[in-house]
Chain A
Amino acid sequence: MLKIKNLNISIDNKKIIKGLNLEIKQGEIHALMGPNGSGKSTLSNVLAGKDGYDVTGEIIYKGEDLLKISIEERARKGLFMAFQYPIEIPGVNTSNFLKSSLNAIRKSNGKKQLDALEFLKLIKEKADVLNIDKTILNRQLNVGFSGGEKKKNEILQMSILEPMFAILDETDSGLDIDALKIISDGINSLRSICRSFLIITHYQRLLDYIKPDFVHVLADGSIIKTGCSELAEELDKVGYGNKKQL
């Protein structure tokens, strides 16, 4: 699904990611953990196609050179990033935004676009499954949303767009226990043999609910250790500062 080879990313001549290698196969869940400033969000931004980075190396997504594909084409090819800080867009209705997004993706994949009624039915269904308050759908996109509502809205978008490869950039940060439960249930409900996840997190907490196939530790721009879900528990005990013990 995704193959990253010798990836280097810098911003303003400052190296953030240094020779990173990572392979995520179809159906796998990978957790990427690491301290603040280790380059986790930089990596997810580059995967989603954000401008302003100097990138060398190779990212192959479903056999294609991802770095040559535009932001919207990546989304249309099934890549989705749940933002660490979802952007507020005043004047844009949440439900309408989701409909435009879904239809843009469906259209490029040769599928029939949903009309207002079909979409309404779908979004209500998904919101119910995720136990998400439907009133957010009629509000302006992320405007005045609480931290939890913003993250739930990202997961709702994911469940509607049904991506092949989802990056969750610190989706668990700033959530209370109930919201964390709702969000991890949402992610688990989307788990499938054809869908892959890259879950970026600081804490082991989220991984109590979502069992990853692999856990990677990112420090100073490269992966210093890879293991199975027990690695996350170990990290929780010893912390990031104690790299030698890992």
Chain B
Amino acid sequence: MGAGHTHGSSRSVSDGLYVHGATPLHRLPAEVKLVGLLAFVLTVVATPREQAWAFGVYALLLVGLLATTRLRPGLVLRRMVIEVPFLVFAVLLPFVALGERVDVLGLQLSVDGLLGGFNILAKGTLGVVAAILLSATTTPRDLIVGLQRLRVPALFVTILSFMVRYLDVVVDDMRRMALARASRGFEAKHLGHVPVVAKAAGALFIRSYERGERVHLAMVSRGFTGTMPQLTAPSPTTRQWAVVVVAWALVATVAVTAVVAGDRTAWLVVAG
């Protein structure tokens, strides 16, 4: 390990979705956070939708974790906007789903649809907030290190790391091309302008493809033979793993309780 070379120490500018900070969650190695996130999401998804209280407990846990990261609530809310398209579907569900109906404020709504909508809303929101926690406390570089260490296939990690590196470059290219179009009086106003934008997208694709070839040449010139080097970063300590396992145990206890409670209710319904 590169002793004395702490990465991510002197960042003043934005780096992807990363928000600079020095909290325990920021310091936690990415592989631990990734495993924790996956375990949390799977557990949440496995929780029966009828047990609304369980989702309340999950939400409280997440808010508590959020508080330790000192992220501004406004930032988290803004990033949650990504969820909106799914929420639209969740809101529609009670109106379009079939089955038993219930009267809510004078509207005939499907019971199944209401539960389904709540299911999407609760599980989706919990997942999105958990992912925001990860992306806001982990630099793209550390995420790549984490994925490498979790033995995610090297090709995927390489593609991801190139995406992170070249996204800005390609977006800049795109912006310059749009600026050059606008400077010559073009404005995308109606569908008739689609061919122009499509041709620009094609040109951008070719540019990026050619850049890819040049990048490869430059890599080969420095002795690249097909394997990307393993990046270095501090390894997780046993204690850090233990903290995540304990936290997950808490979540799992809630889930198991919810499943058991759900079974009992179902049994009572059947018996009654």
A and B found bound together = no
